[in-house]
Amino acid sequence: MATINTYLSFMGNTEKAFNFYKSVFGTEFVGGIRRFGDMPDNDLMSEEDKRKIMHVGLPIGPGNLLMGTDLLESKGQSLTFGNNYYISISPESKEEAVKLFNGLSSGGTIISPLEDTFWGAYFGSFTDKFGVQWMVNYLKQ
């Protein structure tokens, strides 16, 4: 069965927030901090955006990760109450990823289609018909 984690969005202060959470929970980041500058084909991105956090994960209990990212104003993203979180699902198989993505996104709005990514996952995101934001992230073994 899939695991569910909380994914938070910030406007440029993800690193500060997660260093705070790290000090409280006393755990270490999983896989370190990934910045937008680590992405391939980032030569059109500003130096400021390259320094921002693309992804960070912090264990906060058995089987639970608190994850986060910085939104990019340069990409038209803004933080509004209600869009600063995602429910992130980590399915156990590609088939389960497709089933959950298609089922939960039905009647909603696809943000990123379910597809292979440069970080080695089969990933997609959407807002469901009730306004809840979801990510499906199957990490291939």
Could you tell me the two tokens for 66? 């608190």
Label the pairing between strands 121-127 and 109-116. antiparallel
pTM over 0.85: no
* Coil, strand or helix at 65: strand
54 pLDDT band, cuts 50/70/90, is very high
60 pLDDT band, cuts 50/70/90, is confident
User: Could you read off the pLDDT of 70-97 as tens digits, one per residue?
Assistant: 999 999 999 887 778 898 988 889 998 9
Mean pLDDT, the chain, integer: 91
42 pLDDT band, cuts 50/70/90, is confident
Tell me the domains of the chain and their CATH numbers: 3-139 (3.10.180.10)
H/E stretch holding 88 reads strand 85-90
